[in-house]
Amino acid sequence: MLKVQEADRLLKLPIYVFAQLDKVKADMAAKGMDLIDLGMGNPDIPPPPEIIDSLVESLKNPENHRYPSFEGAPEFKAAVASWCKRQYGISVDPEHEVVTLIGSKEGVVHFAFAYINPGDITLVPMPAYPAHFRGTILAGGEPHILPTTEHKGYIPDLKIIDPAIADKAKMMIISYPSNPTGAVATREFYAECVAFCKKHNIILVHDFAYAEIYFEGQKPISMLSIPGAKDVCIEFHTTSKTFGMPGWRCGFAVGNRQLIESLRKIKTNLDYGLFTAVQKAAIAAMTLDESAYIAKVRATYQSRRDLFVDGLNSLGWKVSKPKGSMYVWFPVPQGYDSTEFCMKIIEKTGVVFAPGVAFGELGEGYLRAALIGSEPRLAEALERIKKAGFRYA
Ligand SMILES: Cc1ncc(COP(=O)(O)O)c(C=O)c1O
Which CATH number do you get for residue 256?
3.40.640.10
Ligand 1 centroid from CA 172, angstroms? 17
- Structural domain boundaries, residue 200: 49-289
Residue at 261 is within a domain: yes
Q: Do 57 and 147 share a domain, yes or no?
A: yes
Give the Cα separation of 278 and 284 in Å (integer). Answer: 10
DSSP state of 324: B
- Nearest protein Cα to ligand 1, atom 13: 41
209 Cβ below 6 A of ligand 1:
yes
> What is the Cα–Cα distance from 299 to 322, expressed in whole angstroms?
14
CA-to-CA distance for 379 and 376, rounded, in angstroms?
5
Between the CA of 104 and the centroid of ligand 1 the distance, in Å, is 6
Alpha carbon distances (Å) from 286 to 41, 49, 162, 221, 331: 22, 14, 42, 18, 37
**Which amino acid residue places its CA nearest to atom 3 of ligand 1?**
209
Which of 263, 289, 315 terminates a domain? The answer is 289
Q: State the CATH number of the domain containing residue 379.
A: 3.90.1150.10
Last residue of a domain, one of 243, 269, 289: 289
Q: How many CB atoms lie within 10 A of CB 244?
A: 20
Residues 171 and 240 both lie in one domain: yes
Task: Kindly give the distance from the C-alpha atom of residue 209 to the centroid of ligand 1, in angstroms, as a whole number.
Answer: 6
Task: From 38, 207, 208, 243, give the residue whose CB has the most ligand 1 atoms within 8 Å, as the site to mutate.
Answer: 207
Q: Whose CA is nearest to atom 15 of ligand 1?
A: 209
CB-CB contact of 317 with 208 (8 Å): no
Q: How many domains does the chain have?
A: 2
Distance of alpha carbon 47 from alpha carbon 53, whole angstroms: 10
The residue whose CA is least distant from atom 2 of ligand 1 is 209
Between the CA of 146 and the centroid of ligand 1 the distance, in Å, is: 20
Last residue of a domain, one of 247, 263, 289: 289
Residues of the chain whose pLDDT is less than 50?
none
Q: Are residues 225 and 368 in the same domain?
A: no
Q: What is the DSSP string of 150-212?
A: GGGTT---GGGS-HHHHHH--EEEE-SSPTTT-----HHHHHHHHHHHHHHT-EEEEE-TTTT
The residue to mutate among 241, 252, 326, 371, having the most atoms of ligand 1 within 8 angstroms of its beta carbon, is 241
Task: Say yes or no: 312 and 375 in one domain.
Answer: yes
Closest to 44 measured CA to CA, from 375, 387, 312? 375
Pocket test residue of 105, 175, 210, 278 for ligand 1, highest count of atoms within 8 A of CB: 105
Enclosing H/E stretch for 302: helix 294-314
- pLDDT score, position 15: 80
Mutate to test the pocket of ligand 1, among 80, 240, 248, 368 (most ligand atoms within 8 A of CB): 240
92 C-alpha to center of ligand 1: Å? 22
392, part of any domain = no
pLDDT digits (tens, 9 = 90+) for 241-275: 999 999 999 999 999 999 999 999 999 999 999 99
Atom of ligand 1 nearest to the CA of 101: 10
Same domain for 175 and 39: no
- Pair (209, 224) in one structural domain: yes
What separation in Å is there between the alpha carbon of 4 and the centre of ligand 1?
Answer: 32
Nearest C-alpha neighbor of 338 from the set 308, 363, 372 = 363
pLDDT, residue 198, reads 98
Mutate to test the pocket of ligand 1, among 129, 208, 250, 301 (most ligand atoms within 8 A of CB): 129
Note the pLDDT of residue 20.
81
Same domain, 318 and 222: no
Residues 297 and 372 both lie in one domain: yes
In this predicted structure, what is the pLDDT of residue 87? 95
pLDDT tens digits for range 185-233: 999 999 999 999 999 999 999 999 999 999 998 999 999 999 999 999 9
In-domain check, residue 393: no
368 contacts 17 by C-beta, under 8 angstroms: no
Asked if residue 149 and residue 70 are part of one domain, the reply reads yes
Indicate which residue's Cα is closest to atom 5 of ligand 1. Answer: 105
Domain co-membership, 225 together with 272: yes
Q: Among residues 131, 209, 203, which one has the least CA distance to residue 172?
A: 203
> Is any ligand 1 atom within 6 A of the Cβ of residue 178?
no
Residue 1 in domain = no
- Per the domain annotation, does 136 fall within a domain? yes
In a domain, 84, yes or no: yes
| pLDDT on residue 393 | 81
Q: Is 103 in the pocket of ligand 1 (CB under 6 A)?
A: yes
Long-range interactions of 24-30: CB distance < 8 A, separation 24+: 24/343, 24/346, 24/347, 25/346, 25/352, 28/346, 28/347, 28/350
Alpha-carbon distance of 170 to 69, in angstroms, equals 30
In a domain, 66, yes or no: yes
Of 16, 283, 295, 317, the C-alpha closest to 150 is 317
Same domain for 280 and 236: yes
- One domain, residues 285 and 337: no
Q: What is the pLDDT of residue 1?
A: 84
